């Protein structure tokens, strides 16, 4: 339970920063990542990087930053191709029937800072409205099919469709401290990809805005033939290296201790449930992000996703 009374998912690395007395059993690793062994990576000491190579260090730093929590929980968990976005859907299965109770649409910590740039509306407000579906958490359903059909016919589904609209409109969503309404200060997220690309859309910074800036790292594409060091120089040789000033600020907002810039995270109460034990309804997406345990990222291609 976050400090604003909202249930959110946190990456394990961030949970560990809170020094909770009662916490879910930790998994062995904070971040679990797989990298394509067939990719043409460049390593320091290989000589000059070739135009068809990617700097492995660049890939690692990018993926670890996702693992620290730079990723949205919003996606389409019900349709393929995607048409409507919601946070992860959490349910409580019944012990004596095929039915279940609705626990809620559960944001990730990243989503707490998302804002609709055209209106200033907080995405967490949209999540709150989504959570009024069927009377809210605790609503009973006899089957997944019933849930899906009822949701698609609900007024809340229009919000999910609207989120898809934002997610595919350039510069529609940003990240902003919760106590700020200064849209001009927002980190602009990647919402220019059409069609929507699960894993790439939203969970990255806007490619055009941040190319050749000090906040280049979390764009969804990496420039081939360019080392991390070269990208830092092109970005203005920021003293913080590959973690640019905006990303640095955001990691602090999420609750990480940043050198010379500490924003301690506070929670109201502690975990009311072990979220990693909750179940997700997801007929299409078979493998959900493993909530409170490790966040997994797969790097199968030369480009990020």
d(C-alpha 103, C-alpha 278), whole Å: 9
Is the CB of residue 214 less than 8 Å from the CB of residue 236? yes
CB nearer to Zn ion: give 234 or 298.
Answer: 298
Query: Which residues between 196 and 235 bind Zn ion (CB under 5 A)?
Result: none
Q: Judged by CB, which is closer to Zn ion: 110, or 304?
A: 304
3-state DSSP: the chain helix, strand, coil percent, rounded to 5?
30, 20, 55
Cα distance between residue 207 and residue 115, in whole Å: 18
Cβ 106 to Zn ion shortest distance, Å? 22
Q: Measured between alpha carbons, how far is residue 58 from residues 79, 228, 259 in Å?
A: 33, 5, 22
Does residue 58 touch Zn ion according to CB under 5 A? no
Confirm or reject binding of residue 41 to Zn ion (CB under 5 A): no
- Cβ at position 62, least distance to Zn ion in Å: 6
Between residue 286 and residue 305, which ones bind Zn ion under the rule CB under 5 A? 304
Number of residues that bind Zn ion (CB under 5 A): 1
CB atoms within 10 A of CB 207: 17
Please give the Cα distance from 276 to 81 (Å, whole number). Answer: 27
Site string for Zn ion, 100-139 (x = CB under 5 A): ----------------------------------------
For Zn ion, which is the closer residue by CB, 39 or 140? 39
Q: Between residues 141 and 304, which has the closer beta carbon with respect to Zn ion?
A: 304
Chain position whose Cβ is nearest to Zn ion = 304
Q: Rounded to 10 degrees, what is the CA torsion of 45, 47, 53, 55?
A: 30
Contact residues for Zn ion (CB under 5 A)?
304
């Amino acid at each position: 339970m976050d400090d604003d009374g909202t249930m959110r998912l946190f990456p394990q690395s961030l949970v560990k920063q809170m020094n909770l007395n009662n916490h879910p059993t930790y998994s062995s690793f904070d971040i679990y990542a797989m990298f394509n062994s067939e990719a043409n990576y460049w390593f320091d000491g290989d000589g000059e990087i070739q135009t068809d190579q990617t700097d492995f260090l660049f890939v690692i730093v990018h993926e670890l930053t996702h693992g620290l929590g730079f990723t949205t929980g919003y996606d389409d968990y019900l349709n393929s191709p995607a048409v409507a976005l919601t946070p992860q859907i959490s349910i409580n299965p019944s012990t004596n029937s095929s039915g279940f109770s609705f626990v809620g649409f559960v944001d990730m910590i990243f989503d707490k800072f998302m804002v609709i740039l055209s209106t200033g509306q907080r995405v967490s407000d949209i999540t709150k409205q989504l959570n009024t579906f069927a009377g809210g958490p605790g609503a009973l359903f006899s089957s997944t099919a019933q849930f899906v059909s009822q949701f698609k016919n609900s007024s809340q589904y229009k919000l999910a469709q609207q989120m898809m609209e934002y997610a595919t409109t350039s510069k529609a969503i940003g990240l902003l401290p919760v106590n700020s309404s200064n849209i001009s200060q927002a980190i602009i997220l990647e919402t220019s990809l059409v069609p929507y690309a699960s894993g790439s859309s939203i969970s990255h910074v806007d490619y055009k805005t941040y190319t050749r800036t000090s906040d280049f790292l979390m764009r969804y594409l990496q420039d081939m033939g360019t080392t991390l060091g070269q990208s830092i120089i092109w970005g203005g040789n920021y003293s913080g290296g590959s973690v640019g000033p905006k990303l640095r600020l955001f990691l602090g907002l999420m609750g990480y201790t940043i050198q010379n810039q500490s924003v301690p995270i506070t929670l109201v109460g502690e975990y009311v449930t072990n979220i990693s034990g909750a179940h997700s309804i997801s007929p299409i997406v078979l493998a959900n992000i493993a909530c409170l345990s490790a966040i997994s990222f797969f790097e199968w291609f030369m480009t990020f996703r």
